[in-house]
Amino acid sequence: MTEPREITHWIGGKAVAGASGRYGEVYDPATGRVGATVGLASPDEVDQAVAAARAAFPAWRDASLTQRARVLFAFRELVAAHAGELARLISSEHGKVVSDAAGEVARGLEVVEFACGVPHLLKGGFSENVSSRVDAYSILQPLGVVAGITPFNFPAMVPMWMFPVAIACGNAFVLKPSEKDPSASLRLAELWAEAGLPDGVFNVLQGDRVAVDGLLNHPDVKAVSFVGSTPVARHIYETAARNGKRVQALGGAKNHMVVLPDADLDLAADAAVSAGFGSAGERCMAISVVVAVDPVGDDLLDRVRARVAELKVGPGDDPRAEMGPLVTREHRDKVVSYLDGGVAQGATLAVDGRETPVLGDPGEGFWLGPTVLDHVTPEMDAYRDEIFGPVLSVVRVASYEEALELISANPYGNGTAIFTNDGGAARRFQNEVEVGMVGINVPIPVPMAYYSFGGWKESLFGDSHAHGTEGVHFYTRTKAVTSRWLDPSHGGVNLGFPTNG
């Protein structure tokens, strides 16, 4: 048997083999077999990656905006040309179907395209004559070395929420991707190099908590962007802030989809099934709770069940498959525990994903088919926990007000959606709901790259959302300059307090 391939770091413009002696196993979730190993960084390797970024920063900061934009345009073309290859790589380690992985590459590319406009994005303000012959202006400058720590569920898109904007703004970047599916980051690093990005401006540090803590405590890391689960997001936010760093930490989610009695139930059922089971529910914007407002519950459930029965589950590279396996055995087992657990707490198992056939040979893959739990109530674990798998809960409520109260009481506030044909009800929901991203007859309202992505409450710790103008603000600091060029009429010495006459 051949040894599994080893996934390296990318430091200072080249692949660097892990030297810590610690390795993680990277699985093919469809077979359950180890496909590769990945070196888990030691504190020394954290220092090397940060030092490479720090060394590259001054020249990149001073590169002209046109030069930076040209590298971004070249990177954009290369990622687009290699999108299929990236999608297959993602699918082989994450498990999602290749078409879905291609979708994540496409959404990540939109942020690169946004960042190509960096000359426009970095314009400051200018006021002439704030005092006699005195001008004032603001300039946006990069921070230095910035770090990104990302989750397993979008191994290309989530890093691409961060680094195109950070790099366009003139920073040097250290990415710590998930150790569960680390290859996509490495491939993106190679494409950056091919695009002409100077060595050290983009680095990939593979690893686990040791690498993360190393970055959080490193004095040369000026800002940290994190996306992952809420407990880790809280830890990142608190530690980075204590160390004086700028930090944005996006956490977990429990996304509700409200279906009002006047909604088009076929549209709502299509949306619930697509947004509940796409990527096996391992999306931070997945719909995990359908809130059916009386009397739509039974009718909606019938339509959901009919659609779920048609779904094809299978390996990510099987073109017939619409849903793949879960990312690891442990995660699959945890998700499965909510099925019997939910029933024990009083829910009804309307569809049992353990019975779903798998296309081809299921082997030891981490399978669970689409599952629907009905009559879920807010006290149940299936409602309270972020399951992060293909389990759709249906909660039945008597009114719009009860639906809104349910969402307001939930600690998460990432995404939500309402399905209705009543514009007034939709507008009221958009105004009242305490959630960062809202869909109206749209189940996964992921903002475009030129808006910013982020939730409220325990779904985000920090002030800035990702990409869009908030991303540009996060990766720059503003300097306000007041300037006077002396001419013979400057007026001589004046000890009075400067006023604006």
Q: Which residues are catalytic?
A: 284
Q: Residue 43 or residue 198: which is nearer to ligand NAD going by CB?
A: 43
Distance CA 286, CA 443 (A): 8
Q: Are 360 and 318 in contact (CB under 8 A)?
A: yes
- Interface residues with ligand NAD (CB under 6 A)? 149-154, 158, 176, 178-179, 208-209, 212, 227-229, 232, 235, 250-253, 284, 386, 388, 414, 455, 459
Strands 246-250, 221-227: pairing is parallel
Determine phi and psi for 61, rounding to 5 degrees. -60, -35
Determine phi and psi for 340, rounding to 5 degrees. -70, -35
**Three-class SS of 238-272:** HHHHHCCCEEEEECCCCEEEEECCCCCHHHHHHHH
Distance CA 358, CA 167 (A): 42
Determine phi and psi for 457, rounding to 5 degrees. 50, -135
Task: Kindly tell me the burial class for residue 181, based on how many C-beta atoms sit within 10 Å of its own C-beta (0-12, 13-18, 19 or more).
Answer: buried
Distance between terminal CA atoms of the chain? 83
Distance CA 36, CA 446 (A): 32
DSSP letter at 420 equals -
Determine phi and psi for 469, rounding to 5 degrees. -65, -30
What is the signed CA dihedral for 289, 295, 297, 303, rounded to 10 degrees?
A: -120
| Angle CA 457–463–467, to nearest 5 | 105
Shortest distance (Å) from residue 173 CB to ligand NAD: 15
Using the structure block, give the residue that is written with the tokens 């044909």.
421
Shortest distance (Å) from residue 232 CB to ligand NAD: 4
Q: Which residue is nearest to ligand NAD (CB)?
A: 228
Q: Residue 145 or residue 212: which is nearer to ligand NAD going by CB?
A: 212
Using the structure block, give the residue that is written with the tokens 């001419």.
487
* DSSP-based three-state secondary structure for 72: helix
Task: Give the E-state strand segments of 310-359 in sequence order.
Answer: 348-351
Give the list of residues 6+ apart from residue 370 with CB closer than 8 angstroms, or none. 273, 276, 277, 308, 311, 313, 323, 351, 353, 356, 390, 392
Q: Are 17 and 7 in contact (CB under 8 A)?
A: no
Distance CA 19, CA 44 (A): 9
Sign, Cα dihedral of 395, 398, 400, 402: negative
Burial 31-61 (b: 16+ CB within 10 A, else e): bbeebbbbbbbbeebbebbbbbbbebbeebb
Closest of 48, 360, 85 to residue 207, by C-alpha: 48
Using the structure block, give the residue that is written with the tokens 């299929």.
84
Using the structure block, give the residue that is written with the tokens 């196993």.
25
